[in-house]
Amino acid sequence: MFARLVRRLAAAALVLVAAAPLASHASLPPVVDGQPLPSLAPMLEKVTPAVVNISTKTRVQVRNPFFDDPVFREFFGRQGGSRSRIEQSLGSGVIVDAAKGYVLTNHHVVGGADDITVTLQDGRDFKGKLVGTDPDTDLAVVQIQGTGLQALPMADSSRLRVGDFVVAVGDPFGLGQTVTSGIVSALSRSGLGGTGYQNFIQTDASINPGNSGGALVNLRGELVGINTMIFSPSGGNVGIGFAIPTNLASEVMQQLVTNGKVNRGNLGVETQDITPRIAKVLNLKDTNGAVVTRVTTGSAAESADLQMGDVITAINGKPLRNAQELRNAEGLLPLGSTVKLGVLRNGTAREVTTKLTPEKLATLDGAKLDPRLAGVTFSELPQNLRGQGISGVGVSAVRNGSRAAQAGLQGTDIVIGVGNLRVPDLRTLQRLAGVNPRQLVLVVSGDDGVRYVDVR
């Protein structure tokens, strides 16, 4: 069929040339045998005005490591120990509510930014306000104030099928708005590293750096996903890109707009993958599922009578292959959801029902550790981070103007060390905070990588 169409086009072009030998140029006819030529242009004329460029500026503290030495600092003074530089980045976004100016994008595009500029296809620039961000799904909402905005309608991403045609729109490499096309290569991809909860659409539509936060649309011009990452050994497109489904993005966006953050439920259970050796010890037929290693007191798991050594085989009727799939399902369900778990205990299968409850994290007032940490609240890391093998102590709040804030400590940081000593949990932080009364240097991990914070 395609070859026949090409022959018809070629014949039509020859007729035009023969009939008009004096014409300076010729174009393809709009129709062939009465049929219009296929084109995505009409659909894209409605889509592209809703896809924006996002540029950010972030002030980053850069510490001179020589100033960790008290002798060096005393000799040269305190000036110059910490300096700042401005980092700039580019990404994309999608207007999803024209009346309120809401723009969906990725957390890694705008998270931690001090200044956000949103540029429309028509060249207009707007200052963006960060409404909320969710690192666990790599989603964020930015708001702009402007007239004549155009939004994209959201499709039901659960109706996507492998093989459906899709189009990616964004601003790769800062070149300007670019459109690429492909198909849905796979659905429900997870276990890729990076974000805590994953349920990606995989596509071979070309996605490159700068496309992050851009639109993945179907052939009706409806938003089906937010482009977020690629798999590539070289850093460029190799035909394996990933997008966050709109059903997930819309749920996260609703919470970000309402609360500024996402409140997630928690089963209160820690699990691990089942290795062949564990399967043999537990007398299991295969390695599918997740074995329970800890049940938190007062949690939903305890109320459901889950015990260490139980094997969770399914959640809400969907079989589980590993612990990551359980964490994904737990994190993507709304707070208060009723959850049915398939459980295997001592070779006997049963089903238990419970509800996702808010996770209760132990907290600690920084002033009780050291006067220099007054105004800081430390907390235990949530289960989803611990499940990824991340250890440390979360910084849940930093009071403006406090010593810690002036030193550069931020409310999204994770303390992983004090001086040259590792801090895996709150108990260790309590023990190490007062070890050196003269110097308090925290090693923290944040949006801008690992750095030292010297609190004086």
The catalytic site residues sit at 108, 138, 212
What's the CA gap between 278 and 297, in Å, rounded? 25
Candidates 330, 288, 328, 327; CA nearest to 311 is 288
DSSP 86-140: EEEEEEEEEEEETTTTEEEE-HHHHTT-SEEEEE-TTS-EEE-EEEEEETTTTEE
What's the CA gap between 160 and 43, in Å, rounded? 18
What's the CA gap between 390 and 452, in Å, rounded? 18
Contact 183, 160 (CB under 8 A): no
Tokens at 293, concatenated: 């290693």
Q: What is the 3-state secondary structure (H, E, C) of 313-346?
A: EEECCEECCCHHHHHHHHHHCECCCEEEEEEEEC
233-247 CB burial, b ≥16 within 10 A, e <16: eeeebeebbbbbbbb
For residue 185, is it left (φ>0), alpha (ψ between -120 and 50) or beta? alpha
What's the CA gap between 48 and 39, in Å, rounded? 15
Candidates 110, 95, 92; CA nearest to 145 is 95
**Cβ neighbours of residue 103 closer than 8 Å, sequence gap 6 or more:** 52, 54, 93, 94, 95, 96, 118, 128, 141, 142, 143, 144
SS3 for 185? strand
Name the DSSP class of 300: H
**Cβ neighbours of residue 443 closer than 8 Å, sequence gap 6 or more:** 415, 416, 417, 418, 419, 423, 450, 451, 452, 453
Phi, psi values for residue 103, rounded to 5° = -120, 125
Contact 352, 305 (CB under 8 A): yes
Distinct helix (H) and strand (E) counts, the chain: 11, 30
Tokens at 391, concatenated: 């250890």
For residue 46, is it left (φ>0), alpha (ψ between -120 and 50) or beta? alpha
Run of H or E residues at 360? none
Contact 95, 145 (CB under 8 A): no
